[in-house]
Amino acid sequence: MSMLKKPEGSTRRRKRVGRGQGSGLGLTAGRGDNGQNARSGGGVRPGFEGGQMPLYRRIARRGFSNYPFKTKVAVLNLDALQQNYKSGETVSLESLAKKGLIKSREKNVKILGNGEIKKKLSVEYIAVSESAKAKIEKAGGTVTELKVLDTQEQNDGE
């Protein structure tokens, strides 16, 4: 480590302004002769656009955003199940995570009907599209879907 050196020319000397005429940066210290930026304390605040209405005031600041409430759903196709599962196996969140098809922290998964499936699989507690359900059952498998309560049913239970 003690033998390492920076390449030649990789660092420049610090510019020392206002240190006399001979330095080339004396008198006005590289700020020019006049104007707002030549004065001490001069310059404009961040976001100032020369009197034009600034961007932060032009953009609307009201309204509703659904972002905090959005639900992210991991999507799988039947092709993935056909490639990664043997006939007779059970497809669940744990087995999907173990096989690396989803991340272990994902709780919302939906199986879509793209592709063909010829293996007899048992799908448990995962959302499944209608076309995927039909293909799985046609191949001899079973689907035990996750029951999702709509808002009306949730309110009736309270």
Listed residue (128, 140, 132) closest to 116, CA to CA: 132
**67 φ, ψ (degrees, to nearest 5):** -50, -45
Full residue range of the structural domain in which residue 141 is found: 70-148
- Calculate ∠ Cα 50-39-22, nearest 5°: 125
Distance CA 113, CA 120 (A): 15
pLDDT of residue 65: 86
pLDDT of residue 1: 84
Residue 27's region, left for phi above 0, alpha for psi from -120 to 50, else beta, is left
Kindly state the DSSP code that residue 115 receives in the 8-state scheme.
S
In a domain, 42, yes or no: no
Q: Does pTM surpass 0.85?
A: no
In a domain, 75, yes or no: yes
pLDDT of residue 104: 87
In a domain, 40, yes or no: no
In a domain, 20, yes or no: no
Listed residue (114, 131, 117) closest to 87, CA to CA: 117
pLDDT of residue 156: 53
Per-residue pLDDT 10s for the chain (158 aa) are 889 999 999 999 999 999 999 999 999 999 999 999 999 999 999 999 999 999 999 998 888 888 889 888 999 999 999 999 999 999 999 999 999 999 988 889 999 999 999 999 999 989 999 999 999 999 999 999 776 555 555 455 54
In a domain, 14, yes or no: no
Q: Kindly state the helix (H) or strand (E) to which residue 142 belongs, with its residue range.
A: strand 142-144
In a domain, 119, yes or no: yes
CATH number reported for the structural domain that contains residue 103 in this entry: 3.100.10.10
In a domain, 49, yes or no: no
Distance CA 4, CA 1 (A): 6
Q: Total structural domains in the chain?
A: 1
In a domain, 91, yes or no: yes
